[in-house]
Amino acid sequence: KTIMDMVTLTRLDCAIASSAIMRAGLAEAVHHSRHRQVFGTNLIEQPLMQRVLADMALDVAAATALSFRLARSFDEAAGDRGEAAFARAMTPVVKYWVCKIAPPLLY
């Protein structure tokens, strides 16, 4: 039981850390595109770059919201059976999805 509890908490940690590094990557991409000149204008003003950054921002927001929702269920699980069930069911799902989308977003 103790090891399974540790594994479950590690999955939550992985989801939150992946969300955080995705957010840092997005901030770096925005900063770079604001200062990089292409075709006589800033890269961020190019429509295709705006779409890329918007897609990144959407993935980052979704991963962050999902990770924090899972963290809330961990916080409230002791006093709420529904939250405990949510945490049990969603921990592997959230960890899988967030950790799966992080590498392609960053590279």
CATH number at residue 81: 1.20.140.10
* Mean pLDDT of all residues in 57-77: 97
80: pLDDT strictly greater than 80? yes
The average pLDDT across 87-104 equals 97
Which backbone phi and psi does 77 adopt, to 5 degrees?
Answer: -65, -35
Q: Is residue 3 part of a domain?
A: no
Q: What is the pTM of this model?
A: 0.89
pLDDT at site 101: 97
Structural domain boundaries, residue 15:
9-106
Structurally, the chain folds into a number of domains equal to 1
Residue 88 lies in a domain: yes
Mean pLDDT of 46-63: 98
Does residue 59 lie within any of the structural domains?
yes
CA distance 21 to 14: 10
